[in-house]
Amino acid sequence: MGNPADILIIDDDKDIVDTMRIILESKAYQVRAAYNGREGYAEMEKKVPDVIILDVMMSTDTEGFDLAYKLQRNPDYKQVPILMLTSFPQKMAAEGPEKFQHILGEEWPVTVFFEKPVKPEKLLSAIEEILQDKKG
Amino acid sequence: MNPIQPEINEQELRDAIEEKKRIIFGELKERIHWFIRLRWFVPGGIALGSVVAVLLGFENLAIGTLLLTAAAILVYNSFFFLIGRKKTDRGIGQRGYIRNLTRWQFGLDYVAILLLIHFTGGIASPLVFFLIFHIIFASILLPSRSSYGFATLVVAGMAVICVAEYGGWITPHPLVFRGQSLNSADLPFHVMMVLGFFAASVYITAFFTSSIMGMLRKRISNLVDLSEAVRRLNEKMNALYAVTQAIGSVKKLDRVLKMVTSELCQVMGVLGISVKLLSADGKFLHYAAAEGLVADVFKSKVVEVAKSPLNRQVVEGKPYVTGRVTQREMFQFGEDLAAANVQSVLFVPLIVEEKIIGILGAYCKYQERFSPEEVEFFRQAAGLVAVAIENARAYESIEKLMEERTWFMMRVAHNLRSPLAAVISILDVVRGGYQGSLNDAQSEYLRRIDRRVRTMLTLIDELLTLAKSREERRKLTFRPVDLSVTAGRIQRTFQEEAQRKGLTFEVTVVDALPLISGDPDMIEQALENLVSNAIKYTAAGGRVRVEFSMGSKHTVQIQISDTGIGIPKDARDKLFSEFFRAENAKALEEHGTGLGLAIVKESIRQHGGRVIVESEEGAGTLFVVHLPSYNRPLNG
C-alpha cells in the first residue's frame, strides 16, 4: 500500500493494544494508541484516522459507546469507520437488561462489532474491507 | 363562592325525583291504555243492554239517544286511542300529557254516563252503580285531590239531574216495564235518601281507593329506591373486585394505579381520584396518580404535609377527612382544585401493616356529597389500593434486583474474559509468527495452551448460561453431532495429562455410533468436565476409561469410569449442586469451583438426556451419560 492507512486503537488493555499493534504494523499500517475515551478523542483532534478500533468497557461500562456516539455527532468525525471490540459476550448483550438493549437499538454508530479475542486474520481482513469500502 | 354550584346540586335532586315520577307515570300510562282498551266494550254493552231491555219488555226506552251516546263513546275512545299510540315515546315530558288525557277521559265518561243515567230513569237508573267504578278508576289513576274532585262532580251531576227532573226543567225518562213505571219525580224523599247515600258511597270509595293507592305508590317508589341501591352496591362490588384483580395481575405500579383510580372514579361518580404517596420522612406527598383531574397540573406538584391541614390530619391518623374547597386555608393547592371545578374532597389513608403509605383522595364537583356509606366504601377501597401498591412495589424491587444481578453477571463475565482475551491475543501473535518462527514442538504446546484457554473462555460463557438457564431455558440451536469426533478430541486433550499422572487412559468408540442432536461445544464441555474429574481424582497406577456405545432404545451411552477415590455415600445426593465439593475431593485437591458437575447435569438435561453415577468410596466411580440419538423416532 503506497499510502499506509492510519489506525487509532482505543483500549484500556495494554496487552490487547500491543498485540494488535504488532499485527497491524506487520501489514505496514500506521498505528496510534489511546488508553481511554478522553485520550482517544484528543488523538482524533490531532489527526483524523482512517479507522478506529474501539473497546466498549473501559473505566465505565459504556465508555466506548459513549465515545462512538460523541464522534458520530461531530460532522468532522462522523465518517470515520469504527471497529468495535469487547470482551463482553454478545450473547449476554443480546439477552441483557433493557438498558443495554436500548443502547444497541439506537442508531448504530459502529461499522463492525467483534467479540474479543479476534483472530489476527479476521482483524486484518476486517480492516482491509473497511478501507476498501471507504475508498469505493 | 360560586353561586351556580348549589343550583346544580338542587337540579340533581330534582332529577332524582323526576326519575321516580317518570317510573310511576309509566305505570299510570300502562293503566290508562288498559282503560282505553276496556272502553271499547262499552258501546257494544250499551247496544246489547238496549236490545235485551226491549226484549224483556221495557217500554218507552230512548233507544236512539242511548245508541247515539254509545256512538259518541266509540268516537272519543278512538280519538284517545290514536293520541295514546302516537305519543307513547314522549319521555319525561309526558307527565302533563298523561294527566290531561286522564282528565278528558274521565270528564267525557262522566258526561256520557250521566246522559245514560238520565235516559234510563234518573236516580232510579241501575247505571248509577257504574259511577262507583269510575270513582275507583279515577282514584287509581289520578292524585287523591282529583279523585275527590270527580266524586264531587258525580254527586253534583246526579243532584242536577234529580233537581231538574223534579222541577220539570228536563223531561224525565222513567223506565217502564210492562206498564209499571218508577217515576222518581213522584218520590222526592226517596230521591233525597238515595242521593245522600249515593254521595256518601262515592266519597267513601274515593277515600278508600286513594288511600290504598297512596300506599301503593309509596311502595313502588321504595322498590325503585331499593333496586337503585342494589344496582349501586353491585357496581361498587364490581369496582372492588376489579381492584382485587389488579392486585393479582398487574405488576407495574403506574398501571395498577391507573386502573384502580379510573375504576373508583367511575363507581363513585366523582370528578377525580388521586393517589398521593408519602415520602420516607413523612413530610411530603407525591401524586402517583390523578385520574380525572388535570394530571399534568397535579402530577408535578408535591404536597407539603405541614402546609396542607387536610392532608396532615390524615397522615396524623384520622380515619378520613372531608373538606370544601371554599375553606381555602385547608388546602395547599386550593386554587388548582377550584380551577378544576372541585367543590369538595374526601381523603382516606392508604395503610399497609399499620403504616400510612399515602392518601387516597376523591374530588367532587358538588359541595355536599360524601355520605357515611360512601366514606366507608372509600375506606375499604383504600385498603385494597394500599395492598395493590405494596404488591406492585415489591414486584418492582424484585425486578430491579434481577436487573442488577444481570448487570453484575455481565460485568463478571467481562472481567473474567478480558485477561483471557489478552492471553489469546498474545498467543495469536506468537503462534502467528509475528515475533519470529517457532519449532514444531513449540507450536504444538502453544496450540494446547490456546485450546485450554479457549476451553476456559467457553466455561465462563457456559457458567453464565447455566445461571441464566435457571431463570429461562435457553434456546439451543441443535444440529447433528458426531461423537466420534468429540471422542478423538477428548483423547488428545487428556492423553498427556493422564500419562504424566501415570494413569492408563483409554477412549473407545463402537463402530457406526449414531449421531446425536445437540450443541457440540456444550456436549464436549460436559464430557471434558467428567473426564477431567476422573483424571484428577485417580491416583497413579489407576485407570480412566471413556467408552462411547449404543444405549438402549435410540440413545447413545457414554461411560466414564475410573479407579479413583470414589464418592462418599452422603455426598451423592448433592453431587450435582453448584459449588458442592465432597470432603475427600477437597482433601485431595484444594482448588476447585464445584461447578463442573452442575454444568454437566444442566447440559445433559438440556439435551434431553440423563446422567447416572455409581461409586464406591476408595474403589472408583462410574458416570453414565445417556443422550438421545439424532434420528430417533419422535415417539421413542
**All residues at 6 or more sequence positions from B500 whose CB lies less than 8 Å from its CB, including other chains:** none
Residues B406-444: tens digit of each pLDDT: 777 777 878 888 899 999 999 999 999 998 899 999 999
**Mutation for A interface: B396, B399, B408, B410, most A CBs within 10 A:** B410
Average pLDDT over every residue of B335-341: 77
Query: Is the model more confident about B626 or about B186?
Result: B626
Q: What is the C-alpha separation between B528 and A107, in angstroms, rounded?
A: 42
Residues A55-68: tens digit of each pLDDT: 988 887 778 888 88
Query: Could you tell me whether strands B355-364 and B272-278 are parallel, antiparallel, or unpaired per DSSP bridges?
Result: antiparallel
Mean pLDDT of chain B: 81
Nearest chain B Cα distance for residue A79, angstroms? 29
Query: Is the model more confident about B496 or about B297?
Result: B496
Three-state DSSP at B7 gives: helix
Residue of B nearest to A18 (CA): B426
B76, amino acid identity: Y
Cβ contact A19–B428 (<8 Å)? yes
Q: What is the C-alpha separation between B22 and B95, in angstroms, rounded?
A: 8
Q: Measured between beta carbons, which residues in chain B are less than 8 angstroms from residue A92?
A: 409-410, 413, 464
Q: Which of B98-112, B239-253, B309-323, B437-451 has the highest mean pLDDT?
A: B437-451
Q: What is the C-alpha separation between B135 and B202, in angstroms, rounded?
A: 7
In chain B, residues 401-420 whose CB comes closer than 8 Å to chain A: 403, 406-407, 409-411, 413-414, 417-418, 420
Between the CA atoms of B50, B51, B56 and B61, what dihedral angle is there, to the nearest 10 degrees? 40
Nearest chain A Cα distance for residue B353, angstroms? 33
Q: What is the C-alpha separation between B165 and B167, in angstroms, rounded?
A: 5
**Mutation for B interface: A27, A92, A102, A125, most B CBs within 10 A:** A92
Query: Is the model more confident about B177 or about B448?
Result: B448
Share of chain B above pLDDT 90, in %: 16
Query: Could you tell me whether strands A82-86 and A6-10 are parallel, antiparallel, or unpaired per DSSP bridges?
Result: unpaired
Cβ contact B434–A23 (<8 Å)? yes
Q: What is the C-alpha separation between B171 and B184, in angstroms, rounded?
A: 12
Residue of B nearest to A119 (CA): B428
Please report the DSSP string for B507-542 in residue order: EEE-TTPPPEEE-HHHHHHHHHHHHHHHHHTS-TT-
Q: Mean pLDDT lowest for which of A14-28, B162-176, B190-204? A: B162-176
pLDDT of residue B12: 62
Average pLDDT over every residue of B370-392: 86
Average pLDDT over every residue of B273-302: 80
Nearest CB neighbour to A88, from listed B403, B410, B468 = B410
pLDDT of residue B101: 77
Cβ contact A91–B435 (<8 Å)? no
* Confidence class for position B477, pLDDT limits 50, 70, 90: low
Q: Measured between beta carbons, which residues in chain A are less than 8 angstroms from residue B417?
A: 87-89, 116
Q: Measured between beta carbons, which residues in chain B are less than 8 angstroms from residue A26?
A: 434
Cβ contact B465–A91 (<8 Å)? yes
Contacts 24+ apart (CB under 8 A), B584-590: B584/B617, B585/B537, B588/B536, B588/B537, B589/B536, B589/B537
Cβ contact A23–B432 (<8 Å)? yes
Nearest CB neighbour to B428, from listed A86, A89, A119 = A119
Residue ranges of alpha helices (H) inside B120-187 are 128-141, 144-167
Nearest CB neighbour to A23, from listed B417, B429, B461 = B429
Q: Mean pLDDT lowest for which of A8-17, A23-32, B91-100? A: B91-100
pLDDT of residue B466: 66
pLDDT of residue B472: 46
In chain A, residues 58-87 whose CB comes closer than 8 Å to chain B: 61, 86-87
Cβ contact B434–A22 (<8 Å)? yes
* Confidence class for position A93, pLDDT limits 50, 70, 90: low
Query: Could you tell me whether strands B321-324 and B344-352 are parallel, antiparallel, or unpaired per DSSP bridges?
Result: antiparallel
* Confidence class for position B220, pLDDT limits 50, 70, 90: confident
Average pLDDT over every residue of B149-156: 89
Residues B5-55: tens digit of each pLDDT: 444 455 666 676 777 667 766 777 777 788 888 889 989 999 998 889 888
pLDDT of residue B440: 92
Query: Is the model more confident about B86 or about B550?
Result: B550
